[in-house]
Amino acid sequence: MKPIYFDNHATTQLDPRVLQAMLPYFTDLFGNSASRNHAYGWEAEEAVEKSRGQIASLIGANSKEILFTSGATESNNLAIKGVAEMYAEKGNHIITAATEHKAVLDTCKHLEKKGCRVTYLPVMGDGRIDMEMLQSAITDKTILISIMYANNEIGVLQPIAEIGKLAKERGVLFHTDAVQAVGKVPVNVISDNIDLMSITAHKMYGPKGVGALYVRRKSPRVQLTAQLDGGGHERGMRSGTLNVPGIVGLGEACAIAKAEMAEESKRLSGMRDRLRAKFESALDEVFINGSMEHRLPHNLNMSFAYVEGESLLMGINDIAVSSGSACTSATLEPSYVLKALGLGDDMAHTSIRFGLGRFNTDAEVDYVADKLISVVKKLRELSPLYEMVKEGIDLSKVQWTAH
């Protein structure tokens, strides 16, 4: 039996309706949307334009403001590098946050080597940025603020509308990596004053390998320096033959999300809250990481104190989730997102991220809760830390032998 999938922040299962919409574009309707001279090209172009409209409609944009990419990593690179190059004469300062995805952080680090100055805002204990710090970080050299809509580990929503309003007042462009939020919570580029926004299909029940970048066309008209040279597709901002089946899938995923978001988010937040309540009633010393008030409906990130994350995952190998533990990451460092919240390494090592999704059921929530509770109890029997805490020892006062 395959494990129960509770890792929907990593990726989501393709919705069968999305697959159905895509299939003809692999076979009969195989044309290149840039072929202007025959029906094959026209059919493909029509499908691409329909998708653009579906995406635009979900986020309150005009379809001309949507350009297609290979996914959010490319969208983030194009937005940030494209702005940095295009607006280099205006300034060289970028503001972002410590909890951003690596696709944003590493892009900023790359630009620092090219002469840009980057401010990495810390976050507060609840995972949100401090608006006053953002305000005072802006200088006359600031050209871009890049702050994610919702975090991929803790699901915390940033004050996007406030950031957008501030950016507009100060004449600074505002980019947001919205891959975790679009299709899950209402996102509107007009009311949020967003200038650039990264989207990917596979986080919203669409296919992998396709994404989009929203680029505002009016007040202000945002320009980007292209990062790929070639045929000048996508208004010259992103060359390369369009991935028509993928684009059709992204559009369909957006249309489904728009129709079902309200009901789906209610269902998922109900399941999430039940999962949390079960943990909290059965176990002591469990902690929520990040704000519960400003949070995606389908995210739960909890630390099960005194139980190391990887050993916990080993005990629940019929459940697919992620841990902030160093042992589960390639870098052997615990989650930098959790550390940015002020969590000690010890608590970061004990964290588990649950990402619920469209295809999860109530029965799965019950199973996951019961299984996790029993494994945590078993591992706490094994944990010298839990024993010491129960004896009344303050772990922060113990002289550990670091190694």
Partner 1 sequence: MAYSDKVLDHYNHPRNVGSMDKSDSAVGTGMVGAPECGDVMKLQIKVNPLTGIIDDAKFKTFGCGSAIASSSLATEWLKGKTVDEALAIKNTDIVSELALPPVKIHCSVLAEDAIKAAITDYKIKQGADVAALAQAH
CA distance 365 to 270: 10
Sole window of 63-71, 208-216, 276-284, 324-332 interacting with partner 1 (rule: CB under 8 A): 324-332
> In sequence order, what are the residues at sequence separation of 6 or more whose Cβ sits closer than 8 angstroms to the Cβ of residue 204?
12, 182, 183, 184, 253, 254, 257
> Sign (positive/negative) of CA torsion 312, 314, 318, 320?
positive
CA distance 112 to 262: 41
Q: How far is the CB of 364 from partner 1 (least distance, A)?
A: 23
CA distance 283 to 302: 12
SS (H, E, C) 202-254: CCCCCCCCCEEEEECCCCCCCCCCCCCCCCCCCCCCCCCCCCHHHHHHHHHHH
Q: Which residues pair with 47 in a beta bridge?
A: none
Nearer to partner 1, 262 or 398 (CB): 398
Task: Tell whether residue 345 is a contact of partner 1 (CB under 8 A).
Answer: yes
In the stretch 362-381, what mask flags binding to partner 1 with x, by CB under 8 A?
-------------------x
Nearer to partner 1, 190 or 398 (CB): 398
Tokens 């503001």 map to which residue?
95
Tokens read off for 53: 């409209």
Task: Tell whether residue 326 is a contact of partner 1 (CB under 8 A).
Answer: yes
279 to 7, 41, 125, 264, 272: CA distances (angstroms):
18, 55, 22, 23, 11
For the beta carbon of residue 93, count every other beta carbon within 10 angstroms: 20
Sole window of 57-65, 166-174, 245-253, 321-329 interacting with partner 1 (rule: CB under 8 A): 321-329
Task: Tell whether residue 395 is a contact of partner 1 (CB under 8 A).
Answer: yes
In the list 183, 211, 334, 357, the residue contacting partner 1 (rule: CB under 8 A) is 334
In the list 229, 384, 392, 397, the residue contacting partner 1 (rule: CB under 8 A) is 384
Task: Tell whether residue 332 is a contact of partner 1 (CB under 8 A).
Answer: yes
In the list 231, 382, 390, 393, the residue contacting partner 1 (rule: CB under 8 A) is 382
CA distance 120 to 55: 30
Nearer to partner 1, 363 or 402 (CB): 402
CA distance 251 to 181: 16
Nearer to partner 1, 200 or 323 (CB): 323
Q: How far is the CB of 1 from partner 1 (least distance, A)?
A: 18
Residue 72's closest CA among 174, 223, 210?
210
Nearer to partner 1, 283 or 292 (CB): 283
Task: Tell whether residue 315 is a contact of partner 1 (CB under 8 A).
Answer: yes
CA distance 333 to 352: 15
Nearer to partner 1, 201 or 348 (CB): 348
Q: Which of residues 284-313 bind partner 1 (CB under 8 A)?
A: 306-308, 310-311
The answer to whether the bond into 220 is cis (omega within 30° of 0) is yes
Residue 182's closest CA among 254, 78, 102?
254
For the beta carbon of residue 63, count every other beta carbon within 10 angstroms: 14
Q: How far is the CB of 101 from partner 1 (least distance, A)?
A: 23
Task: Tell whether residue 318 is a contact of partner 1 (CB under 8 A).
Answer: no
Sole window of 134-142, 267-275, 338-346, 358-366 interacting with partner 1 (rule: CB under 8 A): 338-346
* 116 in active site: no
Q: How far is the CB of 391 from partner 1 (least distance, A)?
A: 10
391 to 283, 306, 380, 387, 395: CA distances (angstroms):
17, 14, 14, 6, 11
Task: Tell whether residue 1 is a contact of partner 1 (CB under 8 A).
Answer: no
Q: How far is the CB of 401 from partner 1 (least distance, A)?
A: 5
Q: How far is the CB of 311 from partner 1 (least distance, A)?
A: 5
In the list 92, 289, 303, 325, the residue contacting partner 1 (rule: CB under 8 A) is 325
Nearer to partner 1, 218 or 403 (CB): 403
Total number of residues that touch partner 1 (CB under 8 A) = 28
* Catalytic, out of 108, 116, 254, 327: 327
Binding residues (CB under 8 A) for partner 1: these are 306-308, 310-311, 314-315, 325-327, 332, 334, 344-346, 349, 381-387, 395, 400-403
Active-site positions? 327
